[in-house]
Amino acid sequence: MNQNRGEFGSMATEQALDLSLPSCRYLLSAILAMEPSDCLLSHARACGGGSITEQAQQFILDHCLSTPGDFHAPYLKNFLKKLITQVECDHDSVLDQFYELYAHYITSFKDDSFGKRDSRICKRISFLFPDDYSELQTCPHSRVLTFPLKCSTNMLEGDTGCSIWPSSLFLSELILSHPELFSNKSCFEIGAGVGLVGLCLAHVKASEVILTDGDLSTLANMKLNLELNNLNVETDALQRNEDTSTVKCLYLPWETASESQLQDIMPNVVLGADVIYDPVCLPHLVRVLTILLNQTNPNSEREHENGEHYYNGVTDRSDGRYKPVNYDGYNGQPKEAPVAYIAFVIRNIETFNYFLSLGDQANLDIVDLTDSLKPMNLLPYMQSYNQADIKLLRIICRRTNQTIVT
């Protein structure tokens, strides 16, 4: 869990709070991302130096709830109730506006009417960059990058693709922390869900962003999110587009994706977040990965005596950034072989081991990068997400070593 340091402790109780204070930025970001109420209360306490002071309450009113129409009513109602209860329990005074706001929510929205309302909510995910962050191309004018995302309150909606899963938060942090791995590269995501990873890829200027999913309602929601974030959506797989504000959204169920369809794509980087969970789908997923990663100019491969295909180059894995290289790129220039980054949570070790064995049979080289390629912690306010829960695999189409998951 992220620890909130409350570094502005007693000072904060004496002066008006503003967004220059990390604890205040965390509180605002947590409310926008619709973090659980307990997380909001802990940030509010940190703002007040240990308790939810009147200054902290005023900050919430002025900066976090100034446009209450933007919030999901049940979420806000629940937060207001918990906040009022907490402040009263601490024997501090609750600002009158909170009672008024809470009364408004109780009378305007009955609990039974919530159920009938749209189950879609809008979470705003903010990535907070450290002050010494030097990759200025990522966030030249601001230390905060916020993406609004429509998602569902039902985690199973859209075959699970209408919710934000922790591995996509991890991949997003990875992309923003290491833009050099993705910038100017053609990036292809499988099981892309709400589209957050694609937004980050577009942000770091991937030369092409192709997002795919096997669920049509997920795909529709994803397109909505891309447009909400001012990107253009293209649905023609073959259309080449130089415009980096255009993202392709394709329907791609792993079971029926044809070899020729996948071979037309030729990405440099394949990404997947939380896609290793259903054993029934895994053979299809591995087949898709194998085709995508096995794409090179036919001349760039040579066949070993034992019949295995190898890229004719070297690999550099000194810094965990594995670069399989071949020398048959355009005009004889070095050309990197396609690589996949798959982030996942091990929920069932047997399912994971099944994935590894299928990958092994398909001649995929699967390396655990969890300890060697770490993203920055750009979501320090998000107590519902723990970067340490996520594992990262790098996969190429070549068998060189064993995978050790620690």
Ligand X SMILES: C[S@@+](CC[C@H](N)C(=O)[O-])C[C@H]1O[C@@H](n2cnc3c(N)ncnc32)[C@H](O)[C@@H]1O
CB of 235 to ligand X, least distance (A): 16
Q: Which is nearer to ligand X, 52 or 382 (CB)?
A: 382
161 binding ligand X? (CB under 6 A): yes
Span from 11-19, 208-216, 354-362, 371-379 in contact with ligand X (CB under 6 A)? 208-216
CB of 349 to ligand X, least distance (A): 18
CB of 334 to ligand X, least distance (A): 31
Mode of pairing for the β-strands spanning 365-368 and 391-396: antiparallel
Site size with ligand X, rule: CB under 6 A: 22
Span from 39-47, 117-125, 207-215, 235-243 in contact with ligand X (CB under 6 A)? 207-215
The single residue among 29, 167, 177, 294 that binds ligand X, judged by CB under 6 A, is 167
Residues 293-312 that bind ligand X (CB under 6 A): none
Q: Of 323, 317, 320, 321, which Cα lies nearest the Cα of 336? A: 323
Residues 362-391 that bind ligand X (CB under 6 A): none
Q: Which is nearer to ligand X, 173 or 215 (CB)?
A: 215
The single residue among 98, 182, 254, 352 that binds ligand X, judged by CB under 6 A, is 254
Alpha-carbon distance 179 to 201, whole Å? 8
273 binding ligand X? (CB under 6 A): yes
CB of 282 to ligand X, least distance (A): 9
Question: 216-228 and 196-203 are packed helices; what angle lies between their axes, rounded to 10 degrees?
Answer: 40
Span from 12-20, 50-58, 163-171, 301-309 in contact with ligand X (CB under 6 A)? 163-171
Beta strands in 174-225 (DSSP E): 186-190, 208-213
213 binding ligand X? (CB under 6 A): yes
173 binding ligand X? (CB under 6 A): no
42 binding ligand X? (CB under 6 A): no
211 binding ligand X? (CB under 6 A): no
Per-residue string for binding with ligand X, 174-203, x by CB under 6 A? -----------------xxx----------
Q: Which is nearer to ligand X, 49 or 161 (CB)?
A: 161
Pair 273, 222: CB distance under 8 Å: no
CB of 218 to ligand X, least distance (A): 5
Pair 128, 236: CB distance under 8 Å: no
DSSP secondary structure, 25-84, as one string:
HHHHHHHHTT--HHHHHHHHHHHTTSS--HHHHHHIIIIISSSGGGS-HHHHHHHHHHHH
Q: List the beta bridge partners of residue 234.
A: 248
274 binding ligand X? (CB under 6 A): yes
157 binding ligand X? (CB under 6 A): no
Question: How many angstroms from the chain centroid is the CA of residue 80?
Answer: 28
214 binding ligand X? (CB under 6 A): yes
End-to-end C-alpha distance for the chain, whole angstroms: 19
Q: H helices of 281-403, where?
A: 282-293, 349-361
Structure tokens at 119: 């189950």
- Which residue type, as a one-letter code, is found at position 34? M
The single residue among 61, 121, 281, 346 that binds ligand X, judged by CB under 6 A, is 281
CB of 387 to ligand X, least distance (A): 14
Q: Of 33, 345, 378, 22, which Cα lies nearest the Cα of 172? A: 378
The single residue among 50, 68, 148, 253 that binds ligand X, judged by CB under 6 A, is 253
Structure tokens at 112: 């039974």
The single residue among 56, 204, 275, 289 that binds ligand X, judged by CB under 6 A, is 275
Question: Which helix (H) or strand (E) is 396 found in, with range?
Answer: strand 391-396
**Longest Cα separation, the chain:** 80
CB of 276 to ligand X, least distance (A): 9
Q: Is 299 helix (H, G, I), strand (E, B) or coil?
A: helix
Span from 41-49, 80-88, 233-241, 250-258 in contact with ligand X (CB under 6 A)? 250-258
Q: Which residues contact 163 (CB under 8 A, 6 or more apart)?
A: 151, 152, 154, 155, 157, 193, 194
The single residue among 129, 165, 311, 352 that binds ligand X, judged by CB under 6 A, is 165
Binding site for ligand X (CB under 6 A): 159-161, 164-165, 167-168, 191-193, 213-215, 218, 253-255, 273-275, 281, 284
